[in-house]
């Protein structure tokens, strides 16, 4: 009998513990090796134990891990400047997680509304969206499973379907309280659902026309994963507010809200804060992650390896009637199957591959951006027969 756990039971966990990793490989406490095609859900941008990241973090740990935001923060300045340079935005606020970045974005939208005399500001959000599990972000999330039991939800959100500009225009005409549109460029938890480029451009134009904030949640799809620094850059647009997190610190918790001219002066002293947000260790992790990504050309690698994995999966799985669609961009890929497939996660782990399943029937791949062509081929080699056998058994 295993000892009773004192950890709160909020996750369905696989029956093994990871002990250490190197590159795209991780080992469990029993010594079994896995190829990591999940990267801690889009977090381990540089894989595990990166030889350039580890010494930099060690040096930072020995110098200064944390100090409060009572002081000047040169590393915050450095990371903010880099993020603004890469995104074309103007300033950043630092926090530690994705939900905090989104919570901050929601506060910015509300305050933006109040500053314009709108007493009950509303934000347009999306079906199947996921923005986090705080009370406000789960209210913005479009999944009743995430919300159930936590009612009353936070008000001030109106929901529309994705990629339907007419639905947003209807809100624009009928609802004077709207102040912002808030969406993931590629929905992650919702099943790897991409927004169309023309839809994003139409949203940008509508937000400009109405003086709304375009707020793009790049928590999962950002940080080079899709083959551009930020997923919205495929549409050639610039948002007003961009919450991000996950891959930014390569495993060290770092979140950011990066904002453009329309939003940069909305929050002032006393409006927002975070004890851990922007601490020197987190900022160093962000600065070094971006530096190494440039040095090692990882955004290009994400694009090239994304093409390779998609081609491999198409070759192995297209035409199988149980495979509904292979979709996504770069190293953010979903394989939608015709039936629920959560058990594939355990089957893949037994075969030495870490993946996830989201939205019940979508196999999700989010490997580290350092992944090599040989490792991509290995993912395809392990995963394709697993999916084929799983579908054949259920038929």
Ligand X SMILES: Cc1ncc(COP(=O)(O)O)c(C=O)c1O
Check if the beta carbon of residue 243 is closer than 8 Å to that of residue 257: yes
CB of 41 to ligand X, least distance (A): 6
Nearest residue to ligand X, by Cβ distance, number only: 98
What burial class does residue 148 get, using C-beta atoms within 10 Å of its C-beta: 0-12 exposed, 13-18 middle, 19+ buried? exposed
CB of 263 to ligand X, least distance (A): 18
What burial class does residue 290 get, using C-beta atoms within 10 Å of its C-beta: 0-12 exposed, 13-18 middle, 19+ buried? buried
CB of 142 to ligand X, least distance (A): 12
23 or 190, CB closer to ligand X?
A: 190
Check if the beta carbon of residue 362 is closer than 8 Å to that of residue 347: no
Classify 359 as helix, strand or coil: coil
- Among residues 104, 135, 70, the alpha carbon closest in space to that of 259 is found at 104
Distance (Å, whole) CA 361 – CA 340: 4
CB of 200 to ligand X, least distance (A): 15
Q: What does the buried/exposed string (b/e) look like for 291-309 if buried means 16 or more CB atoms within 10 Å of the residue's CB?
A: ebbeeeebbebbbbbbebb
Check if the beta carbon of residue 96 is closer than 8 Å to that of residue 103: no
CB of 222 to ligand X, least distance (A): 9
Peptide bond into 81 cis (omega under 30): no
CB of 312 to ligand X, least distance (A): 25
Looking only at the bridges linking them, the beta strands covering 213-217 and 178-184 are parallel
178 or 219, CB closer to ligand X?
A: 219
230 or 390, CB closer to ligand X?
A: 230
113 or 255, CB closer to ligand X?
A: 255
102 or 139, CB closer to ligand X?
A: 102
331 or 386, CB closer to ligand X?
A: 331
* Number of C-beta neighbours around residue 5 at 10 A: 8
Check if the beta carbon of residue 284 is closer than 8 Å to that of residue 56: yes
CB of 256 to ligand X, least distance (A): 12
105 or 168, CB closer to ligand X?
A: 105
Residues lying near ligand X in the complex (CB under 6 A): 41, 97-99, 102, 130-132, 184, 188-189, 217, 219-220, 245
């Amino acid at each position: 009998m295993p000892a009773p756990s004192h950890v709160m039971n909020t996750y369905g966990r696989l029956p093994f513990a990871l002990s250490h990793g190197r590159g795209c490989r991780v080992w469990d406490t029993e010594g079994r090796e896995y190829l990591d095609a999940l990267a801690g859900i889009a977090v381990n941008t540089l894989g595990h134990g990166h030889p350039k990241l580890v010494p930099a973090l060690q040096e930072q740990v020995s110098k200064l891990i944390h100090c409060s935001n009572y002081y000047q923060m040169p590393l915050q300045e450095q990371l903010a400047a880099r993020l603004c340079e890469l995104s074309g935005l103007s300033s950043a606020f630092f926090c530690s997680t994705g939900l905090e970045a989104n919570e901050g974005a929601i506060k910015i939208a509300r305050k933006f509304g109040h500053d314009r005399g709108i007493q009950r500001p509303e934000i347009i959000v999306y079906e199947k969206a996921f923005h986090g599990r705080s009370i406000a972000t789960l209210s913005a999330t479009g999944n009743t499973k995430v919300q159930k039991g936590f009612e009353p939800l936070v008000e001030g959100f109106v929901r529309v379907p994705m990629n339907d500009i007419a639905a947003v225009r209807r809100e624009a005409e009928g609802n004077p309280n709207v102040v912002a549109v808030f969406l993931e460029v590629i929905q992650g938890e919702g099943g790897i659902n991409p927004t169309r480029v023309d839809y994003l451009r139409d949203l940008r134009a509508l937000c400009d026309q109405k003086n709304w904030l375009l707020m793009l949640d790049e928590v999962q799809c950002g940080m080079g994963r899709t083959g551009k620094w930020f997923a919205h850059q495929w549409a050639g647009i610039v948002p007003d507010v961009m919450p991000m997190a996950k891959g930014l610190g390569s495993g060290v918790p770092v979140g950011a809200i990066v904002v453009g001219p329309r939003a940069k002066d909305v929050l002032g002293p006393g409006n927002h804060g975070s004890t851990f947000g922007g601490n020197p260790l987190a900022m160093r992790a962000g600065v070094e992650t971006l530096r190494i990504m440039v040095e090692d050309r990882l955004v290009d690698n994400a694009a090239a390896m994304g093409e390779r994995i998609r081609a491999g999966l198409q070759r192995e799985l297209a035409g199988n009637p149980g495979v509904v669609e292979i979709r996504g961009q770069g190293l953010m890929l979903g394989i939608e199957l015709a039936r629920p497939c959560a058990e594939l996660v355990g089957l893949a782990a037994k075969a030495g591959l870490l993946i996830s399943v989201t939205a019940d029937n979508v196999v999700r791949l989010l490997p580290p951006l350092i992944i090599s062509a040989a490792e991509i081929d290995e993912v395809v080699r392990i995963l394709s027969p697993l999916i084929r056998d799983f579908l054949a058994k259920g038929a």
